[in-house]
Amino acid sequence: MTRRIDVDRARLKDRYPETFRTPVLARTVYLAIVTAGAGLAIYALWRFGFSPGKFLDGLGKLGTVIALMVPPDPGSQLWKYVAALGETLSIAFLGTLGAAILALPASMLAAKNVVANRIVHFASRRFLDSIRGIDTLIWALIWINVVGLGPFAGILAIMTSDFGSFGKLFSEAIEASDRKPVDGVTSAGGSDLHGFRFGVLPQVLPILLSQVLYYFESNTRSATIIGIVGAGGIGLYLANEIAQAEWQSVAFLILMILATVALIDWISAKIRFAVIGRRGVVA
């Protein structure tokens, strides 16, 4: 059996030398990249003072923590938690909505086919990028300085950081829209504004809406942690219970978050299908 394969192999090798040649250069480059990647990781671990003994210790401690989490139990604070969760949802909802409303005009500035000026385009793109480059939690800290501790700071933080993301996404959607309806509207005597309103907006609205819904989901997640720095919502309780090692409450809070995120996922998927189904134009 083995013999026959050997014979076949030799003959095949004769006939197709290209296929059997070892690509030395490609292999070397590949090996070098993998070695460099692994080397960097090892350097990082060394820099962080990683040691297997300490790591196992930590894992053991983590195991104890997880064992202490069962069964999840809110203690006497259930209603406080529910209220905080409501606050979290409000933060996510208003933050997303506000960001979407503010980002629409900004995204027109950043879209090449609406404002043809290259300087405006470049400046507005970089401005949006800078806003996006700063994490929501940092924005929350800054807004706390302005409006004080509480959920309002959280709403403004989500609004600011999503303004950057929406601005970019919306402007890309606008740039990808078809030019012909706009030409049609303007050739019928419509102004540029008419062209945008009746030529571009109907094309992009379902896309924008589905992006907004997607961000609402992801903001629900962000809003659960924004309380860690004092900007409202369930994160404050989560950070406190972890600091006080109340693991049963922590487990309960995490389960609440998981259930809420799953629910929002489900609802927004429904709405998205409904919207896309009705329009039937989203590519």
Partner 1 sequence: MLGLALVLIFSMLSAWIGEVDPAKFWNGLPRFASYFHDILPQLRLESLGADLEEWFWNLDGWLALLLDTLLVAYVGTLFGAIAAFVLCFLASANVTRSATLRFASRRLLEFCRTVPEIVFALMFVYAFGFGAMPGVLAIAIHTAGALGKQFSEVVENVNMHPVEGLTATGATYVETIRFGVVPQILSNFMSYSLLRFEINVRGATVLGFVGAGGIGKELISSIRQFYYADVSAILLIIIATVFLIDWLTERLRHRLLSLDGAEQ
Q: Are 140 and 150 a contacting pair, CB within 8 Å?
A: no
Separation of alpha carbons 164 and 102, rounded Å: 10
Query: 75 vs 133, which CB is nearer to partner 1?
Result: 133
Contact pick of 16, 20, 55, 273 for partner 1 (by CB under 8 A): 55
Within 8 A by CB and 6+ apart from 270, the residues are none
Stretch that binds partner 1, among 20-28, 116-124, 192-200, 224-232 (CB under 8 A): 224-232
Contact pick of 104, 239, 276, 282 for partner 1 (by CB under 8 A): 239
8 belongs to the binding site for partner 1 (CB under 8 A): no
141 belongs to the binding site for partner 1 (CB under 8 A): yes
50 belongs to the binding site for partner 1 (CB under 8 A): yes
DSSP state of 228: G
Tokens (6 digits) for 108: 């027109």
Buried b (16+ CB within 10 A) or exposed e, 128-146: beebbeeebbebbeebbee
Separation of alpha carbons 42 and 146, rounded Å: 43
Binding mask 112-131 for partner 1 (x = CB under 8 A): -----------------xx-
Backbone phi, psi, residue 22, to 5°: -80, 125
CA angle 34, 37, 41 (to 5 degrees): 135
Nearest approach in angstroms of CB 152 to partner 1 is 5
Stretch that binds partner 1, among 73-81, 110-118, 195-203, 250-258 (CB under 8 A): 250-258
Would you tell me which residues interact with partner 1 (CB under 8 A)? 37, 40-41, 43-45, 47-50, 54-55, 58-59, 61-62, 65, 86-87, 89-91, 93-94, 97, 129-130, 133-135, 137-138, 141-143, 145-148, 150-152, 154-156, 221-222, 224-225, 228-229, 232, 238-239, 242, 245, 250, 254, 257-258, 261-262
